[in-house]
Amino acid sequence: MHEPNEFGVPTHAHSHTEAHSHSHPHVHESKKNVVNRLARAIGHLEKVKRMVEDDCDCAEVLIQIAAVRAAIENTGKVILQDHIQHCIVDAVEEGDDQAIASLCAAIDKFMK
């Protein structure tokens, strides 16, 4: 973990060389965690498909769909935390108002 900035948020070491439209790839500190969570969500979704193909009980299918939804939402929360701690911090440090607005719009969409 790096020293906190003036807002009390830890800084990080990666740098951005392109315009900060945030369409460029960058290092996510939680990448392995996110990939594992996505694999879990895919597994749940594949099970839903098999259950429907096998004419399983609707209640059981709905429970499995709830597991898919929870896995996706939890993955989003990990990405959101990384986004706030890194992407937004970078934009604030660089004074990039356009990037801040874009990043905040992405958060708003996720939260809906």
Q: CA-CA distance, 84 to 56, in Å (whole number)?
A: 41
**Residue ranges making up the domain that contains 91:** 31-111
Per the listing, tokens 């996510």 go with 28
Q: What is the pLDDT of residue 4?
A: 45
**pLDDT digits over 16-43, tens only?**
444 444 444 456 778 899 999 999 999 9
Question: How many domains does one find in the chain?
Answer: 1
- Residue 100 inside a domain? The answer is yes
User: φ, ψ for residue 87 (rounded to 5)?
Assistant: -65, -50
- Residue 76 inside a domain? The answer is yes
- Residue 52 inside a domain? The answer is yes
Q: Domain containing 52 — which CATH number? A: 1.20.58.1000
Q: What is the pLDDT of residue 1?
A: 42
Residue segments in the chain with a per-residue pLDDT below the cut of 50: 1-2, 4-25
Distances (CA, A) of 15 to 26, 104, 108: 9, 20, 25
Q: What is the pLDDT of residue 26?
A: 59
CB 87 within 8 A of CB 106: no
- Residue 56 inside a domain? The answer is yes
How many of the other CB atoms lie within 10 Å of CB of 77?
Answer: 12
Q: What is the pLDDT of residue 13?
A: 46
